């Protein structure tokens, strides 16, 4: 895997721009322009929401992932609220970019949709941690969850109808399921990312930090090996896995043992073998920093048969 990078302070809003490529060209009076190895990008601005803001009577918060429906010119935003303020849900919004800028007041929440479990009911509190959402041109949504605080709650990637009803699960590799903190995902460092290839054939996701058996969690001067999963959307199964090295935490927290983390939090598929990866770092006393990388899987080694990465040496993958 080849991973070429740029650094930027632009966070989710640049990601929104990428999801709607027509925004990037032919706009006048844009505020900033970025010349990068990935081409020319434009920063359209930002908008902030008041704490405890509501949409149709439900708290509009915990916004974690966003996806664009070009057929209706609307966006779906997933909330990572595990059920504390309302059942698991996503919001439908309209974003006004007619003047070429994103400003306060440009985002209009049209409503919300509750997600339903396999039995047709709301998810129990702390049984789900929704993180990413992807619109499927066939009229459905793909959603990932890191799992929940309940021991019986596992990570998942599922397909839902537009009105939130369960359709099917994608089959995760067995080594992703946690066993006694010795194997599987780390809590809250699981399936944060999700993206669909332009032709709709493949869905990509990845764990945010290493599985227990694969290596360490990211830290200062410590990189973390994660697995990019390539799913066949027809079968719902993983076709291949690829090693991706999450960078070490770059900034020391103010206090030596204070919280810090860096993780792979989002992916965007440009084609079947080229992705843009977003890494997000937080270090106490320093704040957030964001890195965006172009990732090529063309010559990468498929690692799906390797059960534990820390027990082997992979020579053909470069980062």
pLDDT in tens, 127-174: 999 999 999 999 999 999 998 777 768 999 999 999 999 999 999 999
Would residue 316 count as lying in a domain? no
Would residue 317 count as lying in a domain?
A: no
Asked whether residue 318 is domain-assigned, the answer is no
CA 6 → CA 151, 166, 292, 294, distances in Å? 38, 38, 6, 9
**Residue 298 — φ and ψ, nearest 5°?**
-55, -50
CATH of the domain at 104: 2.115.10
Is residue 130 in a domain? yes
Does residue 118 form part of some domain? Answer: yes
What is the pLDDT confidence band of residue 4, given thresholds at 50, 70 and 90? Answer: low
Q: Is residue 238 part of a domain?
A: yes
Residue 121 covered by a domain:
yes
| pLDDT tens-digit series, residues 181-211 | 889 999 889 999 999 999 999 999 999 999 9
Tell me, yes or no, whether 86 lies in a domain.
yes
Give me the sign of the Cα torsion angle 112, 116, 122, 125: negative
Counting the structural domains of the chain, the total is: 1
Helix, strand, coil fractions of the chain, as percent rounded to 5: 5, 45, 50
pTM over 0.85? The answer is yes
Lowest-pLDDT range, 86-100, 256-270, 303-317?
303-317
**Domain enclosing residue 181, as ranges:** 2-311
């Amino acid at each position: 895997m080849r991973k070429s990078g740029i650094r930027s302070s632009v966070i989710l809003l640049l990601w929104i721009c990428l999801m709607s490529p027509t925004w990037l060209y032919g706009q006048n009076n844009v505020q900033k322009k970025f010349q990068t190895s990935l081409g020319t990008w434009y920063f359209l601005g930002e908008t902030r929401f008041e704490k405890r803001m509501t949409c149709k009577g439900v708290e509009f918060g915990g916004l974690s992932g966003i996806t664009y429906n070009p057929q209706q010119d609307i966006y779906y935003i997933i909330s990572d609220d595990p059920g504390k303020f309302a059942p698991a849900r996503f919001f439908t919004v309209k974003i006004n970019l007619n003047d070429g800028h994103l400003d306060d007041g440009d985002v209009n929440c049209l409503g919300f949709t509750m997600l339903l479990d396999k039995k047709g009911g709301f998810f129990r509190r702390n049984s789900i941690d929704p993180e990413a959402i992807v619109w499927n041109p066939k009229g459905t949504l793909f959603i990932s969850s890191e799992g929940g605080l309940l021991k019986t709650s596992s990570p998942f990637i599922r397909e839902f109808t537009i009105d939130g009803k369960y359709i099917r699960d994608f089959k995760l590799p067995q080594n992703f399921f946690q066993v006694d903190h010795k194997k599987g995902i780390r809590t809250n460092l699981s399936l944060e990312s999700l993206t669909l290839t332009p032709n709709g054939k493949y869905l990509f996701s990845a764990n945010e930090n290493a599985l227990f058996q694969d290596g360490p969690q990211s830290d200062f001067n410590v990189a973390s090996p994660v697995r990019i999963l390539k799913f066949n959307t027809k079968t719902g199964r993983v076709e291949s896995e690829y090693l991706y090295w999450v960078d070490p935490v770059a900034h020391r927290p103010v206090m030596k043992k204070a919280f810090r983390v860096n993780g792979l939090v989002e992916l965007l598929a440009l084609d079947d073998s080229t992705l843009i990866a977003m890494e997000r770092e937080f270090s106490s006393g320093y704040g957030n920093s964001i890195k965006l990388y172009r990732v090529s899987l063309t010559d990468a080694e498929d690692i799906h048969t390797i059960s534990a990465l820390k027990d082997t040496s992979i020579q053909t993958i470069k980062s």
